[in-house]
């Protein structure tokens, strides 16, 4: 019987580690969304900053629930939260960062130098 309890504990720790990793990604996305100015979102052709902050704020709160053990990885809320953060990081963040440009990047006639 102790083998069954050990394997269930190992699987439980694995799922908890996945929830912690998802929480880190959700936190990163939420903090990054806060850092960018509102005009960068509309300039990039994406949803407004307020909409992204609401989406990522809800994902962050759900991520906290998963990290402290209130939600299971098998339920759909932690999965949806991670997907929202991943969409932000993979699609929105690069385009918002590209609009910032400014004086930190030197542009020549053929691109950055």
Decide if 39 is inside a domain: yes
Dihedral, CA of residue 98, residue 104, residue 105 and residue 107, to nearest 10: 120
How many residues in total does the chain contain? 113
Average pLDDT over residues 53-78: 88
pTM: 0.78
Decide if 105 is inside a domain: no
Average pLDDT over residues 43-48: 91
pLDDT (0 to 100) of residue 105: 53
- Among residues of the chain, what percentage have pLDDT more than 70? 81
Decide if 110 is inside a domain: no
Query: What is the domain range of residue 84?
Result: 20-98
Decide if 10 is inside a domain: no
User: Which carries the bigger pLDDT value, residue 4 or residue 9?
Assistant: 9
- If one counts the domains in the chain, the total is 1
Question: String of b and e for 91-113 (b: at least 16 CB within 10 Å)?
Answer: ebbeebeebeeeeeeeeeeeeee
User: Which carries the bigger pLDDT value, residue 91 or residue 69?
Assistant: 91
Per-residue tokens: 77:
């809320």
User: Which carries the bigger pLDDT value, residue 103 or residue 33?
Assistant: 33
pLDDT (0 to 100) of residue 101: 60
Decide if 113 is inside a domain: no
pLDDT digit string, tens, across residues 13-32: 888 889 899 999 999 999 99
> Which residues are paired to 108 by β-bridges?
111
pLDDT (0 to 100) of residue 110: 66
């Amino acid at each position: 019987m102790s083998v069954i309890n050990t394997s269930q504990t190992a699987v439980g720790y694995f799922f908890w580690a996945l929830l912690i990793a998802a929480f880190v990604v959700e936190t990163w996305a939420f903090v990054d969304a806060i850092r960018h100015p509102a005009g960068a979102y509309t300039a990039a052709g994406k949803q407004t900053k307020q909409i992204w902050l609401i989406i990522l704020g809800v994902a962050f709160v759900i991520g906290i629930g998963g990290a402290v053990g209130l939600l299971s990885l098998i339920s759909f809320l932690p999965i949806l939260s991670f997907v929202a953060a991943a969409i932000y990081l993979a699609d929105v963040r690069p385009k918002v960062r590209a609009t910032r440009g400014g004086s930190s990047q030197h542009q020549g006639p053929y691109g950055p130098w």
